[in-house]
Amino acid sequence: MENLKLEPTSLASWHALMTEALQSSEITLTEDLESYLVFLLMRFTKNPEIINNILAIDYLTHVKKYRSENRQALQEVGDKCLLYAGLFPGTARKRRVPISYYIGLGQNAYASLSDNLHNSLSPLFAKLGQQFVCLIDVLHEIREMDHKGDAIDLLSAEELWNTTHSRHALRILRRATDGFILPRNAQDPEQKH
């Protein structure tokens, strides 16, 4: 990131960082998803304590009783899951849960929003849920640009690739071996019935 050109505003800086991460990861996001992610990162840097709570309890509390105040709470669950899985994957390891836990929870929170909203934001939340893994891949790329190393360890990369087909996780696995990378459920040709 020492080659990163600092922009005059935090919005411009986050946008420039996002553009660099998207190019590096070879991922294309729609403009609305890219904007959502940039604004989420801006919101997090202004309010870093949003990451400090138990997300499953928040999700279960708010998913059943859907009202307008719960919409914001569900959105926060999805947003926090994006941040945990993308920028702070070590948190999952410390809490002894796979990164895919945060991915599933975040996808479900956004899907609940999409299903229960009947306004112009419903398609955005549907896309956030559907493209969650791509968003995580972009955030991992941003993390690696800052930390000069893989965002996740090899075991996490293997789990993430096998459960979500993360392109970023697959790249980490390919850098670690010259051999073939097979999914866990790949059958041995001799064992087929």
The tens digit of pLDDT for each residue in 49-98 reads 655 555 554 555 555 555 556 788 889 889 999 998 998 888 777 888 88
Q: What's the pLDDT at 50?
A: 59
Q: What's the pLDDT at 184?
A: 75
Query: 3-7, 105-109, 145-149: which has the minimum mean pLDDT?
Result: 3-7
As a whole number of angstroms, the distance between CA 125 and CA 144 comes to: 27
Q: Is the pLDDT of residue 34 over 60?
A: yes
Measured at the alpha carbon of residue 120, what is the angle toward residues 74 and 77, in degrees to the nearest 5? 10
As a whole number of angstroms, the distance between CA 85 and CA 181 comes to: 23
As a whole number of angstroms, the distance between CA 85 and CA 31 comes to: 22
